[in-house]
Amino acid sequence: MTAVPATHSGAETQPASRAAARGRRSLAAALLLGAAGAAAVLLASGQTWAEGTAAVGGGSVPLEADGRDVTGLPAALAVVGLAALVALFAVRRAGRVIVSALLALSGAGAAAAAFLGASDGAALDERARQTTGDTAAAAAGLTHTAWPYVTGLAGLLILAAGLLALRYGTSWPAMSGRYEREGGAARGGRRPAAVDTVDTDRPEELWKALDRGEDPTGGR
């Protein structure tokens, strides 16, 4: 009697399924961290970071400076981070590594600029000079709010998204990768595989077709 060799298809698919699940989780986490971090940086950098007073005549007037008065770097880098987050799905291989590094660096730069600006008093001194018309004026009673630290922590979220992209980004899907392969096969003379008819009036069917790498419009 001839023994039938045992198959290991189930065991072989388990690591692949775990890797796919890990990739989906890392992708979702990076998107959430990057988008939330950038939004929080933009919001927090527009809040009041420093407060004080300026002497005018026999009294004083209140002064305040927001994050963009102190440093415009966190907000600018947050916009760069958002652009890099979107660009992750338009590039592949080495391009994705470069964009992931840019995402991480934008988060690190935003955090560093915010933490360094947490004790800055130059912006409020400039407000004092503008208010009094005295080029030698300086703000008195200088205090700082918690918003610079909120901005810095939000920048760290962008950094975390970039680190996730550097670690797992090469396994994430690209928006145009499957369509490019199908287009290349058609140009090479090979007929693309037939696809199922998609009901374009049902959004869930459109998403399923895109996930399979099919053109839900049927080339229309």
CATH number at 50 reads 1.20.140
Is 61 inside any structural domain?
A: yes
Is 118 inside any structural domain?
A: yes
- The confidence score (pLDDT) of residue 173 equals 75
Polymer length of the chain: 220
Is 2 inside any structural domain?
A: no
pLDDT score of 107 more than 60: yes
User: Helix (H, G, I), strand (E, B), or coil: what is residue 54?
Assistant: strand
Backbone angles phi, psi at 64, to 5 degrees: -150, 155
Whether the predicted model's global pTM rises above the 0.85 cut: no
- The confidence score (pLDDT) of residue 206 equals 56
Q: Domain limits at 83?
A: 26-171
- The confidence score (pLDDT) of residue 136 equals 81
- The confidence score (pLDDT) of residue 3 equals 53
Per the prediction, the chain carries an average pLDDT of 80
Best CA proximity match to 143, nearest among 62, 71, 75, 69: 62
pLDDT score of 199 more than 50: yes
Token pair belonging to 161: 């998204």
For residue 100, the one-letter residue type is: S
Is 183 inside any structural domain?
A: no
Instruction: Quote the number of domains for the chain.
Output: 1
Q: Which of 4-13, 90-99, 154-163 has the highest mean pLDDT?
A: 154-163
Is 166 inside any structural domain?
A: yes
Of 34-48, 140-154, 160-174, least confident by mean pLDDT is 160-174
pLDDT score of 83 more than 70: yes
Is 203 inside any structural domain?
A: no
How far apart, in Å, are the Cα atoms of 138 and each of 45, 60, 101? 23, 12, 41
Is 15 inside any structural domain?
A: no
CB 60 within 8 A of CB 143: no
Is 150 inside any structural domain?
A: yes
For residue 122, the one-letter residue type is: A
Higher local confidence (pLDDT), 74 or 124? 74
- The confidence score (pLDDT) of residue 89 equals 83
